[in-house]
C-alpha cells in the first residue's frame, strides 16, 4: 500500500489521538484512514445527489414549458385563422382609395402594436418594443 506522510500541529494530533481512542479505533492512523475514506465517499455521494437535484429541476422546467409551447402554437393557429378570414372577406380598395387605405391601416397597426406593448410587462414588453421600432423604420 502506498504511504503518505502528513504533518499535523500538536493540537490537531492530540485531537486525532483523543477521537481515535474515544471511537475505538486501533490507532490514530486507522482513524485518519477512516476519515479520508468517509470524505472521499461523501464527495461521490454529494455529487450524485447534486446530479439528481439538477435532473429533477430540469424535468420540472420541461414540464412547465411544454404547456406554454402548446399554448403558443394554439395562439399562432388562432391568429393565422383570423388573418385568413380577414384577407378572404375584406375586399381590396379600388383605385385611388388604396393608397389612403394602406396609410390608415399602417397607422392603425402601429397603434395596435403600441397598445399591446403597453399592456405587456417584462421581457415581453421589450420584444414588443422591438417590433414597434422595426415597424417605424
Whether the per-residue pLDDT at 24 is higher than 90: the answer is yes
Task: pLDDT band for 111, please (50, 70, 90 cuts).
Answer: confident
pTM of the model: 0.41
Task: Decide if pLDDT at 135 tops 70.
Answer: no
Report pLDDT for 130: 66
CA distances for 26 relative to 22, 35, 39, angstroms: 10, 14, 20
Mean pLDDT of the chain: 83
Is residue 72 within 8 A of residue 65, CB to CB? The reply is no
Spatial neighbors of 20 by CB under 8 A, at least 6 apart, are: 27, 28, 30, 31
Amino acid at each position: 500500500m502506498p504511504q503518505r506522510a502528513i504533518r499535523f500541529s500538536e493540537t490537531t494530533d492530540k485531537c486525532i489521538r483523543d477521537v481515535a481512542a474515544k471511537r475505538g479505533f486501533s490507532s490514530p492512523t486507522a482513524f485518519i484512514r477512516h476519515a479520508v475514506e468517509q470524505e472521499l465517499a461523501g464527495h461521490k455521494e454529494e455529487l450524485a445527489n447534486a446530479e439528481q437535484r439538477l435532473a429533477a429541476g430540469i424535468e420540472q422546467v420541461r414540464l412547465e414549458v411544454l404547456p406554454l409551447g402548446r399554448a403558443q402554437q394554439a395562439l399562432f393557429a388562432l391568429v393565422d385563422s383570423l388573418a385568413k378570414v380577414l384577407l378572404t372577406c375584406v375586399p381590396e380598395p379600388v383605385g385611388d382609395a388604396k393608397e389612403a387605405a394602406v396609410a390608415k391601416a399602417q397607422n392603425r397597426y402601429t397603434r395596435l402594436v403600441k397598445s399591446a406593448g403597453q399592456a405587456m410587462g417584462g421581457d415581453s414588453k421589450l420584444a414588443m418594443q422591438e417590433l414597434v421600432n422595426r415597424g417605424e423604420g
